[in-house]
Structure 1
């Protein structure tokens, strides 16, 4: 007989203090708790009522305030992953043409022989900018019902392909790092959730 693996409960977020937290420890705790409202645990379990309240709060105070709180979190954490998804979404919205060109060039280079298997592993087809942005939007408003691991891997693959499509060394380095961060977050979530 197999015993069920114990999962920590999703932490409760003090939604009244979001955006007004000055204490670094309390800010970190609030950051992690709010991120857990959107991502849930490794099994996708979350408190739907609290998630709805969080989304309403985000509408009231502006999502930028919450995203800024997530920005200080380590890359392989729930708030760190959400910060990176948020930043990617902002980039897609602010430079759609540039990103589409990078993605197209990157796809051409990947299909012309550049191996990118470590990022594309487990991803059926590389998602384009619109698909990635749509999934990120769903995650950030608590409407995502798919597998967060797959969403993170698809975002990582997209960013990795964009890295292949640029000649600028600094941009390539940043994009590869972002791709690796998203991929590492996906692996961590699959292994038991992001802290």
Structure 2
């Protein structure tokens, strides 16, 4: 009789703080690279809309923990490391699209760069529009220019970071715990934005491995 397996639940807001993997990061390096490149190559070569949709929903089918175990220990400048972060961004947003839309909306109002335009979220900012934006970014990574997808992901992350920081400032006097949480999220978004930007430059120069 097959034993029923119940997948542990990981709250989206905790994902930036919880990169799950083996104690020895080198154990799955080869598998991480092989699967990442094979997945990208298969999607690009087949150009099958149904396959693309399955890849977009990979986390829903396999679970964020399983994807993390395979790719999260890969170097951030590698293909598996970058794909992991793209899936992570999508999962964080889709896990709480309401909060994500609030952060993005605030960021859109206070940021002084062109990042909101590059990110490409449809106005007005809604939970659905930020979810669709992240889906489109991930889709572009597999069906378009990978570097452009990374640049969009970087810009989206910068807007989220600006929004989280702005919300943290406004709540610091009344809710210190929430303000601290938002500040931490802003930092995580800023860090992942820089990884995406560096990854885009590396991809264009052939340095992603």
Aligned with 1:186 (options 200, 205, 208): 200
Match of 2:75 in 1: 74
CA separation of 1:26 and 1:172: change in aligned 2, threshold 3 A = closer
Report what 2:144 is aligned to: 146
Count the aligned residue pairs.
155
Query: Does residue 134 of the first structure (1) align with residue 140 of the second (2)?
Result: no
Which of the two has greater helix per residue? 2
User: Measured at CA, do residues 24 and 179 of structure 1 come closer, stay the same or move farther in structure 2, by a change above 3 Å?
Assistant: closer
Tell me by how many angstroms 1:48 deviates: 4.5
Shift of 1:159: 0.7
Q: Displacement, 1:177?
A: 0.1
Task: Please report how far the alpha carbon of residue 22 of structure 1 lies from its aligned counterpart in structure 2 after TM superposition.
Answer: 10
- 1:166-194 alpha-carbon deviations (Å, 9 max, x no partner): 12322211110011111111111111152
Match of 2:188 among 155, 165, 174: 174
Q: Is the 8 A contact 1:155 1:179 kept in 2?
A: yes
Residue 157 of structure 1: aligned partner: 155
> Is the CA contact (8 Å cut-off) linking 1:132 and 1:155 kept in structure 2?
no
Matching residue of 1:62: 62
Q: TM-score, normalised by structure 2?
A: 0.62
1:51-90 deviation per Cα after TM superposition (whole angstroms, max 9, x unaligned): x7x96xx69x825424421011111110110111111111
Tell me if structure 2 keeps the 8 A contact 1:86–1:136: no
Shift in alpha-carbon separation, 1:161–1:24, aligned structure 2, 3 A? closer
What value does the CA root-mean-square deviation take over the aligned residues?
A: 3.3
* Secondary structure of residue in 1 paired with 2:161: helix
CA distance in 2 between partners of 1:184 and 1:163 (Å): 17
| Residues 38-58 of structure 1: CA deviation (Å, up to 9, x unaligned) | 345xxx996659xx7x96xx6
Paired with 2:44 and 2:26, the residues of 1 have a C-alpha distance of 23
